[in-house]
Structure 1
């Protein structure tokens, strides 16, 4: 087959389902606002990966050898953004059901994956490992895009809902602060792993 759909789907599921910067932010957002109020943000996060898939599929990565400085700058902008998200998570307090705060919206979710090194690593691996050489660009890109979008609309809400359930248990307890610090730390560790332990994402 031009794209090894079954193999890629299994690989992608293992990546989308496991802790990473996006999932930690989804977990924290679900804990703070609940899944229902966080839906626009969740949808933005899921669709935001499409902003990486299509440019990579149509040759963005060929620029890496021509303009390496550009990609180095993008990498460290990404790191700075994820660290900012981690700082925000550390300062959050669980408040499921409270209406006195505004949850992040669709646009805020849309930029999470384009600035997420793990997402770049996943998509680049998808094109370089699971696509047969000579496959038409549109066919390969559309296949990977559909597979990932389907997985994200299944798994991202689950992470957000898990945060909501955690909030029901821990809101207002001494464990609340330690939970948010732990999520922030996992966010930082996941981006460091994507940068230095899981290949070269950018």
Structure 2
């Protein structure tokens, strides 16, 4: 098996752990609804990446080479969706005790990564940078899937818990709107960086 496992793990942890659309959504959800109520959403976000990994591993990258316009269009549609989510985050307020809106659930979490350009770039980078050409498709895909899921199961709850703790500190204060606009700005910045900066 020709997979650079240790570098792959380091890469995955750095990408999963750093700010991006998914982590901003987790942070905002934890802040708005509390850690415990956000857990179904966290589980959906973690498993949603698998919906991208396996198709990419089993041939979607070949389609990207033959029909690049399709993936360019998908990238911009996804970016528009994430920016729309950022707008919603910017206008959220953290007074959860008075909220009648239910927390987003497992199904809502599942669609976050398929519509996240950072996730696509991260997964494609995992296959192209850390997997040898002679590696069996199933082996490569299963390894990348397991490494990314492991990192997500550790790091996604941390982001959500951070949101919960932030909310307990700033909810109802003058700082609250500035915090939500900052989170939204970071979300938009992360998307623009992936689109135009060549980052993952």
The TM-score normalised by the length of structure 1 is: 0.95
Closer, same or farther: CA 183–87 of 1 in aligned 2, 3 Å: same
Q: Structure 1 unaligned segments of length 5 or more: list them.
A: none
Shift of 1:100: 2.1
The TM-score normalised by the length of structure 2 is: 0.96
Question: 1:1-202 counterparts in 2 under 5 A?
Answer: 1-97=1-97, 100-199=100-199
Q: Work out the CA distance in 2 between the residues paired with 1:46 and 1:97.
A: 27
Q: Work out the CA distance in 2 between the residues paired with 1:36 and 1:26.
A: 12
Q: Work out the CA distance in 1 between the residues paired with 2:44 and 2:51.
A: 11
Q: Work out the CA distance in 2 between the residues paired with 1:170 and 1:153.
A: 27
Shift of 1:70: 1.4
Q: Work out the CA distance in 1 between the residues paired with 2:98 and 2:22.
A: 23
Question: What CA deviation, in whole Å up to 9, does each residue of 1:23-44 have, x standing for no partner?
Answer: 0110010000011000110000
Instruction: Could you list the structure 1 runs, at least 4 aligned residues long, displaced by more than 3 angstroms after superposition.
Output: 96-99
Q: Structure 2 unaligned segments of length 5 or more: list them.
A: none
Q: Work out the CA distance in 1 between the residues paired with 2:98 and 2:15.
A: 32
SS of aligned partner of 1:134? coil
Shift of 1:98: 5.1
What count of residue pairs does the alignment treat as equivalent? 200
CA RMSD of aligned residues (A): 1.3
Q: Work out the CA distance in 1 between the residues paired with 2:151 and 2:158.
A: 11
Shift of 1:97: 5.0
